[in-house]
Structure 1
């Protein structure tokens, strides 16, 4: 028998408090070191410090819930776990671009049920939980109601990094070509947390990321879903931790967004 999930309001309060502490740290501690974990995949001392800060705060508040962080790992197989990207968009952050965020989610038996995204340099905080709607700075938000691609602004996830990314990047190039022909504008913002938060509040009409790393997508998927966006895989199935890609879209744009993604990735096996 599965252990019951603690009250979602209680968990949300714990998560919001931890992320607020991390936001304060980010805004008052500029990065002093940056190193590459792999080719084009950097980490700063602030990423590490925030991961430690949030992990320790969550453990103090609710030690029975496991933790997985992008930088130092954890227990991905636990039935209930917090998942953190301490700074999503590290390159943006390090270079002073404001499109970066702290992304914290709660996964319960394979489903993301709570998400918090803080965009410190934009002074916005987003959160959502199953059945509780989506919120930005204390006010409810809703996804776009755009119905036509020629009016849609679509974000595409960043190019690949590390080794063996040629297929991923070829698919990204193709996706840009397809979208440039049909969408009003195409954007590449460099942060999945930013992309999904902006889909949730209707700033963007859709975002397409040709991958699905848990710490990148879990929080934003809850927020976009609770705001009324469709959050799906490339085959149209509901998005989850085992999905290959991450697509969040205004409901009326489902078919053209999926068609563009299929055309761009046809015959290409992408790494997640």
Structure 2
């Protein structure tokens, strides 16, 4: 056993509870959708999922702090659960299947447990520090994950999230420089790109305009699968920054070099 086996088991149970709530509201005719002050959408399902997880944590880990997208919280030392009840809310409210619940445990700011559950993709990914990264579909035995062995960007399959965010940050030409060098590119977005990096199906994923709850659960899965996870400047404190870069590790330095080969354009 590792130090976080019990926490991982709890996180998987939290994901079970989250899936039960979210699936019941997916494509519901009476789904309630609002716009938050930051102009992002939120549904009644987002809030119900986070409440369900928080209620279980209050019973199981009453001494741990919680930071969630919908009900807030501040970064805190010690043990802290970090929650994104529905990552991909836009997909969820439009009836698209690429959405999931992200559950992380951080210790002194470092994510050490991560669970990503995507019930409409029939897939769940999880990792704990020192235990490797794993994934399974219902009825299957868990499979240990390993990143790809691609060594050069011209052979790489990459993904990025919404182009608008790269454009707003003045990074469009930087992204295009990377895309033009790569073998293939897709804009899969949200958690899925990172899980495919962990599975070795993609070689690189990155994005702008992320919050800690978007990222914390993803980082242990990618790194325990043998990858590297930083921000777009190469800083290892990626969960607490606003950009991400996840790779198989072998491509990381080259990707950063290409991304920084152009100046940042003036932002709008």
Q: If the length of structure 2 is used for normalisation, what is the TM-score?
A: 0.88
Cα distance in structure 1, aligned partners of 2:20 and 2:203: 30
Shift of 1:15: 0.9
Equivalent in 148, 153, 157 of residue 152 of structure 2: 148
Question: SS at 1:260's partner residue?
Answer: helix
1:180 corresponding residue in structure 2: 179
Cα distance in structure 1, aligned partners of 2:242 and 2:120: 30
Instruction: Tell whether 2:77 aligns with 1:73.
Output: no
1:109 corresponding residue in structure 2: 108
Shift of 1:256: 2.5
Point out where structure 2 has 5 or more consecutive residues left out of the alignment.
137-141
- For residues 103-252 of structure 1, the aligned pairs below 5 Å read 103-137=102-136, 138-159=142-163, 167-168=168-169, 170-171=170-171, 173-191=172-190, 193-252=191-250
Shift of 1:102: 0.6
Instruction: Tell whether 2:21 aligns with 1:22.
Output: no
Shift of 1:35: 1.2
Shift of 1:195: 1.8
Count of residues in correspondence between the two structures: 258
Please tell me whether the aligned partners of residues 76 and 108 of structure 2 are also in contact (alpha carbons under 8 angstroms): no
Q: If the length of structure 1 is used for normalisation, what is the TM-score?
A: 0.87
Please tell me whether the aligned partners of residues 80 and 107 of structure 1 are also in contact (alpha carbons under 8 angstroms): yes
Please tell me whether the aligned partners of residues 111 and 240 of structure 1 are also in contact (alpha carbons under 8 angstroms): no
Instruction: Please provide the CA RMSD for this pair.
Output: 2.2
CA shift in 2, pair 1:263/1:101, >3 Å? farther
Point out where structure 1 has 5 or more consecutive residues left out of the alignment.
1-5
Post-superposition Cα deviations, 1:175-225, rounded to whole Å, max 9, x if no partner, equal: 44213311122221231x212111111111111122441100011011000
Please tell me whether the aligned partners of residues 110 and 240 of structure 1 are also in contact (alpha carbons under 8 angstroms): no
Cα distance in structure 2, aligned partners of 1:24 and 1:102: 11
Question: SS at 1:246's partner residue?
Answer: strand
Cα distance in structure 2, aligned partners of 1:224 and 1:18: 20
CA shift in 2, pair 1:75/1:243, >3 Å? closer
CA shift in 2, pair 1:177/1:214, >3 Å? same
Post-superposition Cα deviations, 1:33-53, rounded to whole Å, max 9, x if no partner, equal: 111114651011100100101
Cα distance in structure 1, aligned partners of 2:80 and 2:265: 32
Cα distance in structure 1, aligned partners of 2:213 and 2:35: 18
Cα distance in structure 2, aligned partners of 1:136 and 1:207: 19
Shift of 1:9: 0.8
Question: SS at 1:84's partner residue?
Answer: strand
Please tell me whether the aligned partners of residues 211 and 241 of structure 2 are also in contact (alpha carbons under 8 angstroms): no
Cα distance in structure 1, aligned partners of 2:167 and 2:198: 31
CA shift in 2, pair 1:41/1:159, >3 Å? farther
Shift of 1:268: 5.9
Question: SS at 1:251's partner residue?
Answer: coil
Cα distance in structure 2, aligned partners of 1:269 and 1:258: 20
